[in-house]
Copies of this chain bind each other. A is one copy, B any other.
Amino acid sequence: MNNSANITLLGKARFASPIRHSVNDEARVPLHIVRTPGVTPIEELLFEMAGPREKLFFDPRDTRAGIVTCGGLCPGMNTVIRSAFLELHHTYGVKEVLGFRDGYHGLDPASGLEPIVLNADLVDDIHKEGGTVLGTSRGPVDISRAVENLIKRDVNILFVVGGDGTQHGGYKLFQEAQKRGHALAVVGVPKTVDNDVPYVSRTFGYQTAVQEATRVITCAHTEVHSVQNGIALVKLMGRHAGFIAAEATVSSQEVNFCLIPEIPFKLEGEGGFLNALKKRTLRRAHAVIVVAEGTGQDLLENKGGERDASGNIKLRDIGPFLREKIEAYFRAEKIPMVMRYLEPSYIIRSVPADAEDAILCDQYARHAVHAAMAGKTGLVIGLLHDHFIHVPIEMLAKQEKRVDPNSSIWHAVLATTGQPAHFE
């Protein structure tokens, strides 16, 4: 298996595991599983299966772990913290678990933020609340000071809950620790409400977000269905990928236009979006539009490419832009209409995880603990074909996960909206 996505090991595992059942360390899950005779198969790529290992690298009684949560809120962060703590504490008997506060900021001693020593009472009810009890922030970590801090505190395991940039920072932490001869297992739980992490079929919190987005779309539909020529424009999350927009469209069955970053669209002209919206509105007297926030960046002036504190390119705001274009167009066409603009991101991402996401969070967290205890580092937990896997952090940057216009879900979007495959 030469084409395996190999995981870095801190050393040979030799301590007994308290878990009776274990996963074979050689078990692999292939990326491409569909086989078609006569079709040249895509180059094989194999991932380590996640799960408890027969032997541990760390002696639990001597091990101190830390957890840090970074970036924007996402349903289920507290469940990840809680289940990671419980698995470390109850199942493995790890000595101490620290909760670093306010994201990477709190890894830096200069912040003056003392980590919280987690215990069973403290985490008991946190899964019932949205957000993160550890606090979060955007922005990079000072690698050198953070690693010094981890060494000083005798932390050998760090769980990093965050997105792309955050995981990349985690990778550098592990490298720096290695350079300094400190055994540090850095294991990530990928967090993005957008669901756009490669090798991860569902990121935690995503399904809850789709549920909440569906609620909002129903409200938007009610609003515009109750007035003459009501047009609702709902801006949903989705910087580079329109999964939330697409799935909330299918689940609500009440959207007429779904616009996502993956599919460029024309505003003006016979085949453009505005003309289609006009025709729909004249025909049915109302319309619901869902747009993912990263959609149509080519339509917006993109000066400079500013970045936010996490290093993400700042997006121009499609929401107000589209709203103005629509209003101007209907004014010009002398068609009276009633605009309802909704931007519900904060009320979507701040709710607690629903049942299925709670389970997913629990599983990501426990698998992360298994990996770390076995001495694996520089990885995030992935989910491929219903199997949890180990994904080397550096592989995340090499691949994109996007809504496939040929997929069954996008077919359902086109079918339920009735919109054309392209506005052009």
Contact = CB atoms under 8 A, between A and B. Distances in A.
A321 to B, nearest CB: 17
A37 interface: yes
A211 B36 contact: no
B137 A228 contact: yes
A366 B35 contact: no
B24 A28 contact: no
A21 B406 contact: yes
Nearest to A83: B412
Nearest to A21: B406
Interface string A237-253: 00000000001101111
A347 B216 contact: yes
Contact of A409 (B222, B225, B363): B363
A362 B418 CA distance: 15
Interface stretch (A122-130, A173-181, A255-263): A122-130
Interface string A341-373: 011101100110011101100110011000000
Nearest to A135: B226
A219 B34 CA distance: 42
Interface stretch (A60-68, A149-157, A384-392): A384-392
A33 B408 contact: no
Copies in the complex: 4
Interface residues of A, number: 93
Interface stretch (A85-93, A162-170, A268-276): A85-93
B27 A36 contact: yes
B415 A228 contact: no
Contacts of A362: 250-251, 253, 412, 416
Closest 9 CB pairs of A and B: A385-B385, A131-B226, A251-B355, A131-B222, A211-B355, A222-B350, A130-B222, A251-B358, A219-B350
26 contacts: A1-B37, A19-B411, A20-B421, A24-B36, A24-B39, A27-B34, A28-B35, A33-B387, A34-B387, A51-B408, A130-B219, A130-B222, A131-B222, A131-B226, A132-B226, A137-B228, A201-B386, A211-B354, A214-B355, A219-B346, A219-B347, A222-B350, A251-B359, A342-B347, A363-B409, A366-B408
Interface of A: 1, 19-21, 24, 26-30, 33-39, 46, 49, 51-52, 73, 82-83, 86-87, 90-91, 102, 105, 125, 127-132, 135-137, 201, 207, 210-211, 213-216, 218-220, 222-223, 225-228, 247-248, 250-253, 340, 342-344, 346-347, 350-351, 354-356, 358-359, 362-363, 366-367, 385-388, 406, 408-409, 411-412, 415-416, 418, 421
Given A19-B411, A21-B411, A344-B344, 18 more contacts: A26-B36, A27-B36, A28-B35, A29-B34, A33-B33, A34-B387, A86-B415, A91-B415, A131-B222, A210-B355, A219-B346, A220-B350, A251-B355, A251-B356, A251-B362, A347-B347, A354-B354, A388-B408
